[in-house]
Amino acid sequence: MKRVQFNSPYLPYLFLAPQLLVIFVFFYWPSMQAIQSSFYIEDPFGFGSTFVGFSNYSDSLFNPEYYLIAKFTGIFTALVTFFSLAIGLLLAVKADAVIRGSATYKTLLISVYAIAPPVAGLIGMMFFDQHIGPFVKLAAVFGWNMQVGINYFDTAFAMVVVSVWKQIPYNFIFFLSGLQGVPVSVREAAYIDCRSGIRRFWTVIMPLLAPTAFFLLIINVTYALFDTFGVIDVMVKDKAANNPITLVYKVYMDGFRGNDIGGSSAQSVILMIVVFAITIIQFRFIERRVHYT
């Protein structure tokens, strides 16, 4: 906050009012509604609802199907986060090292950033299509009968590839700008002390990049959990039957396809708690090891 500030009895409230109004109506009200309806079972024909306590929660949590989806969500999030961060970092390090053509590489590598998840999913679907997909033909050469949309593992594989593809540019932008923020004097000093480029990277550059990496870790986990909805929806096309889906997709399926408002709300609340927990854990345990310069 500023040392010098304005004093005004009503102006700050006036400036805050529009933002707060929107947040209360479209954020806090629905969130409260979710918590409330998670304790009720709604009549399917809309004739009122019955209070059922925690049974919506226990129905969700002790359901083997829910457990499977949670497991898939965890693995999916870990894979997407790891690969998109690793590839983004690798490309950023290389783009930082080259001089000739670096602007061209940069433009090419960030251009895909603006593609929406469902469009990425659509293009991915085509590449993994049974009739026209080159990836399916390529896999067939190695004797892998790829059936995206039918086979659980194959669909999961395609989802991970597409989700990683879409997220690389974002990580690339941040890592590159982090790398370019490393002072030249530090690099030169490190170069004199150590011949090994790999060791220099891990002992000097990487610790300086840690704040960026920490920030990106949170962003990527959130991306894999929530923003991949479009990719998944396009790939499973409302038919979750034998396809892998994430927890967020199940909230949507149960709420809008299954009309199970109470169960869907209970899952929403569980997800809210998980997101809160992840954020707190990340701040408490990971940020401690990060040194800010």
Partner 1 sequence: MYRTKFADHLVLIIGALFLIVPVIVAFMTSMHTAAEIHRTGLTLMPGDHFAETYTKVLTQQGGFTGQITGARMVLNSLILGLGFATGKIILSMLAAYAIVYFRFRFATLAFWIIFTTLLLPLEVRIMPSYEVMTKLHLTNTYTGLIVPLLASATGTFYFRQFFKSVPEELLEAARIDGAGPIKFFIDILVPLSKTMIAAIFIIMFVYGWNQYLWPMLMTTDESFFTLMRGIKQILQVWVGSQIPDYNEAFALAVLAILPPVLIVVVFQSWFIKGLTESDK
- Please report, as residue ranges, which positions from 214 to 253 form the binding site for partner 1 (by CB under 8 A): 215, 222, 226-227, 229-230, 233-234, 237-238, 248, 251-252
Residue 2, phi-psi category: left (phi > 0), alpha (psi -120 to 50), beta (remainder): beta
Rule CB under 8 A: say whether 7 interacts with partner 1. yes
Q: For residues 241, 226, 279 and 175, what is the CA-based torsion angle, rounded to 10 degrees?
A: 120
**The token pair that represents 243 in the structure block:** 């396809």
For the bound state, the minimum distance from the C-beta of residue 195 to partner 1, rounded and expressed in Å, comes to 12
For the bound state, the minimum distance from the C-beta of residue 293 to partner 1, rounded and expressed in Å, comes to 11
Q: Considering only residues 82, 134, 150, 153, which one is a binding residue for partner 1 as defined by CB under 8 A? A: 134
Rule CB under 8 A: say whether 255 interacts with partner 1. yes
- Please report, as residue ranges, which positions from 167 to 186 form the binding site for partner 1 (by CB under 8 A): 168-169, 173-174, 177-178
Rule CB under 8 A: say whether 198 interacts with partner 1. no
Q: Which residues of 223-247 are buried (b: 16+ CB within 10 A; e: fewer)?
A: bbbebbbbbbbbbbeeebeebbbbb
For the bound state, the minimum distance from the C-beta of residue 145 to partner 1, rounded and expressed in Å, comes to 17
For the bound state, the minimum distance from the C-beta of residue 156 to partner 1, rounded and expressed in Å, comes to 19
Q: Give the other-Cβ count within 10 Å of 35's Cβ.
A: 14
For the bound state, the minimum distance from the C-beta of residue 58 to partner 1, rounded and expressed in Å, comes to 19
For the bound state, the minimum distance from the C-beta of residue 184 to partner 1, rounded and expressed in Å, comes to 10
Q: How far is CA 69 from CA 1, 44, 205, 219, 240, in A?
A: 44, 25, 38, 22, 11
Rule CB under 8 A: say whether 82 interacts with partner 1. no
CA distance 245 to 252: 11
Per-residue binding letters, 257-276, with partner 1 (x by CB under 8 A): ----x--xx--x--xx--xx
CB 175 within 8 A of CB 86: no
- Please report, as residue ranges, which positions from 101 to 130 form the binding site for partner 1 (by CB under 8 A): 101, 105-119, 122-127
Q: Considering only residues 212, 213, 243, 244, which one is a binding residue for partner 1 as defined by CB under 8 A? A: 212
Q: Which residue lies nearer to partner 1 by CB, 67 or 181? A: 181
- Please report, as residue ranges, which positions from 49 to 78 form the binding site for partner 1 (by CB under 8 A): none
CA distance 214 to 39: 37
For the bound state, the minimum distance from the C-beta of residue 64 to partner 1, rounded and expressed in Å, comes to 23
Q: Is the dihedral of CA 26, 32, 37, 38 positive or negative?
A: positive
